[in-house]
Amino acid sequence: MTKDYTHSIYMPIPWEIFHRDTRMLAQRILAARDHFDGIIAIARGGLIPACIIARELDIRTVEAVSVASYDDRAQGQPRMLKGVDTDLVGDGDNWLVIDDLVDSGVTAGVVRTLLPKATIATVYAKPEGQATVDLFAVPVKSELWLLFPWDAELKPNEPLARNATASDLSD
């Protein structure tokens, strides 16, 4: 089960847009439920949005779980790198899990198995993974590879007309 994103369309997301989209997620979370015991960030991508969400929801207890399912831009079998303190979070009841993106839903599925009663929310969601989370802020197309501000290198780029094929521009 591998998914290769090396030929995706890249979409950089600046800090300002990412922060706006994460606050939009916080608003959706508040509309759905006004209190959680704590937040569990899915490392690494969920760490930054979890900090923003924790501030916006005034939550001080933040845990992390780490599941690796990507090697560069190829998705493979998920591996649990760090679990959570089950004495603290139990089965996830009244806990909020945050990630930056749900893509295929593989990582969310692993976390859902670990924390079946948790609420899982992501800032961005591709169609294939939307059903595996409870809330998300921004839907994105399957073929997009999001370049998050902490992952992207700032450098000049060529005009689209020099690098794109006609099919790239038709969407």
Q: Does the active-site annotation cover 103?
A: yes
| Active-site residue identified among 4, 85, 100, 171 | 100
Torsion of CA 50, 56, 57, 59, to 10 degrees: 60
| 129, amino acid identity | G
For residue 113, give every residue at least 6 positions away whose Cβ sits within 8 Å of its Cβ, in sequence order, or none: none
Task: Report, in angstroms and rounded to the nearest whole number, the Rg of the chain calculated over CA atoms.
Answer: 17
Reply yes or no on whether 58 is catalytic.
Answer: no
Q: What are residue 168's DSSP bridge partners?
A: none
Catalytic residue among 34, 99, 134, 171: 99
Give the CA count within 13 Å in the CB-facing half-sphere of 127.
Answer: 4
Q: Across 14-171, where does the E strand assignment appear? A: 38-43, 62-71, 74-82, 95-102, 119-125, 135-139, 144-147
What type of residue sits at position 43?
A
- State the CB neighbour count (10 A cutoff) for residue 46: 28
Catalytic residues: 99-100, 103
